[in-house]
Amino acid sequence: MIEDRSEEWFEQIVDTPHGNQVKATADRYQGRVWSVRSDSVDFGTSMHQRDVLLHPGAVAVIALDENDRVLLIRQYRHPVAMYLFEPPAGLLDVEGEPPWETAARELAEESGYGAQSWHTLVDMFNSPGGSSEAIRIYLARDLHPLPDGRPRTGEAEEAHLPRVWVPLHEAVGLVLSGHIGSPSAVCGILAAQESQNQGWRSLRPADAPWAARANLEQQGRVHRM
């Protein structure tokens, strides 16, 4: 029997841009936070329509205190009809604002804390089968409470954000047991634990290049608010 190796990959393992198959596109919905379009995509042997949710992108913050406790906030998420425990996070909704500055702003607005030490922890796509949302998760340390506490800038879901400090190893257990399922919490907590196990050698600078975000910008797949 001859082994079929036509679907085995032998080159570098890295996500790569490939956006030149769109032959036509039609706008379906324009909202404040995101929009939806339908693309006619050439797959080489056939054409198919794919709906794409265009998203502005987001950042999240795994904030660790001096006792290696991670800061989580409890927030209502209407699409899933649940209160979720999440790290502070927010949309990239200020034109020209560097993502790490957005992360620092969101940490302040959602928790009332600032941080002296910032690093890029991990990058992810939230739901690449249907959405262009790219998320960068930062590690923030050397924390300090803001003199005036949390700025009351939010409304609705953000008006009341109870916070809790969870030892990192316990947070890992909450993820693996299914007690918390927010993607930024799951990805960020597990990445923080593994990076800590490696002596934090995996950390990148806060302003490290973000290739996935740059590709989305180039391909016109970022929703502008």
Residues with active-site annotation: 158
- d(CA 55, CA 34) in angstroms, rounded, equals 5
From the list 50, 169, 150, the residue with the least C-alpha distance to 109 is: 150
Bridge partners of 30, per DSSP, are: 35
Helix, strand, coil shares, percent, the chain, to 5 = 25, 35, 40
Backbone φ and ψ for 92, nearest 5 degrees, come out as -85, 75
19 CB-near residues (< 8 Å, 6+ apart): 215, 218, 219, 221
